[in-house]
Amino acid sequence: ERKAVRIMATHGNISRRGLLGGAAAVVAATATHTMSGTATATHTMSGTAAATHRALAPAESAALWREFTATPYTHPQIPFIGRAGYRAGSALPSRRSRKAAARGFVTDVVRDHGARPDGLADAAPAINRAIA
């Protein structure tokens, strides 16, 4: 008499253990080039595929870097991500002048709270005054 075996790795019902085991097998097979038919395919790319997958030559990357440093905020290929995640990309708060009203918590600990800008003195008391 045969018992019915429930297969857990069916579409839509895969266990974590099955997923991790499958992922580990794919990584191992890729690292050792033992997947059927892929060992030769990964090493014999066509000319255009090889050209798109190659790394930039040092001269090309230096030229791209010079182009980026000339216009870092408006480069067409490298997006500016300096404000990514800050209030959904809104403008960063600016340093308030003594005459302007405060916009959020922006303070100058050196000018407003007595810290010395020499980098040697302990600024913790001035920072605590700024927070309080």
In a shared domain, residues 46 and 6: yes
In a shared domain, residues 48 and 61: no
In a shared domain, residues 18 and 67: no
What domain range is 114 assigned to? 93-131
In a shared domain, residues 66 and 37: no
**Predicted pLDDT at 87:** 66
The residue written with tokens 């959904």 in the block is: 88
Q: 76, 77, 21, 89: which is closest to 29 by C-alpha?
A: 21
> 43: which residues sit within 8 A by CB, 6+ positions away?
none
**Predicted pLDDT at 18:** 74
**Predicted pLDDT at 43:** 47
For residue 96, the tally of other CB atoms under 10 A from its CB is: 15
In a shared domain, residues 15 and 43: yes
**Predicted pLDDT at 74:** 82
Q: Which residues of the chain have pLDDT under 50?
A: 9, 37-43
Give the CA distances from residue 68 to residues 59, 72, 74, in Å, rounded to whole numbers and listed in that order.
14, 5, 9
**Predicted pLDDT at 62:** 84
